[in-house]
Amino acid sequence: MERLFHIIEVVVSQKLWKPISLSKQGLSLSHLTFVDDLILFSKASLDQVEVIQSCLELFCKSLGQKVSLEKTRIFFSKNVGWSVREGISSTLGFQRMDNLGKYLGVPIQHDRVNKRLYSSIINKVNQRLSSWKAKTLFIARRLTFTKSVLATFPVYTM
């Protein structure tokens, strides 16, 4: 993966790859990784598709690997028109998804945060805490158990 990151950094520095901006004068984001997973970000255009494809091809040729079309998905911002979505999806051959779903048990949001979105995590915490016999535990032990349960959720969900 280090090789791919280097390829992406070079192409971004040459202003060929147009990463997404997190805010008007904030950071730009071209890729994120976690273990063996990779998320690529760019402006939604056919020109950018060609740049991304060339980066992936260069990386794959150098290591003798290839992109798995079965595991690869593409997601578009709601600001991208349908004709652009269709063109990019058909060019790349990736399956298009309308909802990001969950990643490692945590909902990946693309809308506003609301209670419903994180209700499954809240329910898990409540189930763990309610399963203890609170009357039989001293306050210090209850506090320790609560901290341990809450501390494991970010690790589990990330």
Instruction: State which of 57, 78, 98 marks the end of a domain.
Output: 98
Residue 109 sits in which domain range? 102-158
Give the pairing of strands 102-103 and 106-107.
antiparallel
Residues 92 and 43 in one domain: yes
Residues 25 and 88 in one domain: yes
Residues 63 and 11 in one domain: yes
Q: Alpha helices of 64-131 — where are they, by DSSP H?
A: 82-92, 119-130
CA–CA separation, 145 vs 125, rounded Å?
A: 12
How many domains does the structure of the chain reveal? 2
Residues 128 and 80 in one domain: no
Ranges of the chain with pLDDT below 70 = 105-107, 109-114, 117, 129, 131-139, 152-158
Cα radius of gyration rounded to whole Å, the chain: 21
Residues 60 and 130 in one domain: no
Residues 113 and 84 in one domain: no
Instruction: State which of 61, 77, 98 marks the end of a domain.
Output: 98
Give the pairing of strands 73-75 and 95-97.
parallel
Q: What is the pLDDT of residue 113?
A: 67
Residues 84 and 28 in one domain: yes
Q: Are 8 and 30 in contact (CB under 8 A)?
A: yes
Q: What is the pLDDT of residue 148?
A: 75
Residues 80 and 153 in one domain: no
Q: What is the pLDDT of residue 158?
A: 43
Residues 84 and 146 in one domain: no
Which SS3 state, helix, strand or coil, does residue 7 take? helix
Element (H, E) at 100: none
Residues 6 or more apart in contact with residue 46 via CB below 8 angstroms:
87, 88, 91
Taking residue 14's Cβ as centre, other Cβ atoms within 10 Å add up to 9
Q: What is the pLDDT of residue 153?
A: 62
Residues 63 and 17 in one domain: yes
In order, the DSSP letters of 13-67 are HTT-S-PEESSTTS-EE-EEEETTEEEE---SSHHHHHHHHHHHHHHHHHHT---
Instruction: State which of 57, 77, 98 marks the end of a domain.
Output: 98
Residues 9 and 46 in one domain: yes
CA–CA separation, 46 vs 84, rounded Å?
A: 8
Residues 118 and 142 in one domain: yes
CA–CA separation, 102 vs 3, rounded Å?
A: 28
